[in-house]
Amino acid sequence: MVSCRGVGSSSVSLLLRRSHRDSYGGEMSTSSSMIFYCLVFLAEILMFGLLSLVLFWVVYYRDGFGWQDEPKKEFNFHPVLMICGFIFFMGHAMLVYRLFRCCNKLTAKILHTFLYLMAVPCIVVGTITVFDSHNLNDPPIPNLYSLHSWLGVVTIGLFALQVTHTLVVGFFSFWLLLCCEQGTARFRAGLVPIHATFGIITFMLAIATAVTGYTEKAFFALSTGYSQRVEEAWVINAQAASLAGLAILMGFLLYSSRYARSTHPVAIIDPPSNSHYVMTQKTYYYREHE
């Protein structure tokens, strides 16, 4: 904690500006760091491996990609783009605040927002292709009748709320309102746990939706019998197992307090009145003399 008794207004203003720019990462012990980076490495293997597996599956076993003239091949965009958007980009976006501990807050927020925005076109096109492939099929396949589709609607809705929060509330609170950082700190601090919690819920729902989707595809696409196409079944099961592993790893990394960035008080300012004005990176409040 830095005491600012007797510090001029220019120095106080400098501290106010630096409170947002400075890094807010806490130090981990050597053993915690080793465990943390091992878990992150495993999560990266699962995310890159899952994306590679789904691409291999649709190209090698599902005849690759097509567009509206080939509805069955157009459907193949759906699993690839949904895994890319919901799991790959969104997973990395959530790890930003854990991984880039040496970066300041603004840099981490920009990268977090960029990864979220990268997921948007993947999810939009992936949703369009599944409706197209159903409607253009001969005969047409009903939409939104399965458990997978219902979970998908909920997941996409939560993701849309996250993106809206990031673009609208995040833009105003973290950019325009920084000119009044003291007045908006409590508001911004209150939004952080809400945004983080809904992000994790959306990610876990995306994993559940993907697993039900693989199960549905296995029963409908492997019409010759699931047990008769062992190699493809293994590829599908490997993807579902990777998703389960990611749910465990990401949940632990994001919920464990030992890997969270800690917040520390920035300064104490003595105003003319008989009180201390305490600034932290998340809250601003007055503390009366005892």
Give residue 27's pLDDT: 60
Please state, in angstroms and rounded to a whole number, the distance separating the CA atoms of residues 278 and 1: 10
Phi, psi of 279 (to 5 degrees): -110, 130
Q: What averages of pLDDT result for each successive group of 10 residues across the chain (290 residues)?
A: 46 44 54 84 94 94 85 90 94 85 74 89 94 87 90 92 70 56 61 77 94 87 64 89 94 75 46 47 41
| pTM exceeding 0.85 | no
Please state, in angstroms and rounded to a whole number, the distance separating the CA atoms of residues 3 and 44: 42
Q: What is the DSSP letter of 86?
A: I
**Cα dist. 265→133, 225, 286 in Å?**
55, 62, 13
Cis peptide before 79 (omega within 30 of 0): no
The DSSP string of 121-188 is: HHHHHHHHHHHHHHHSSSSPPPSS-SHHHHHHHHHHHHHHHHHHIIIIIHHHHHTGGGGGHHHHHHHH
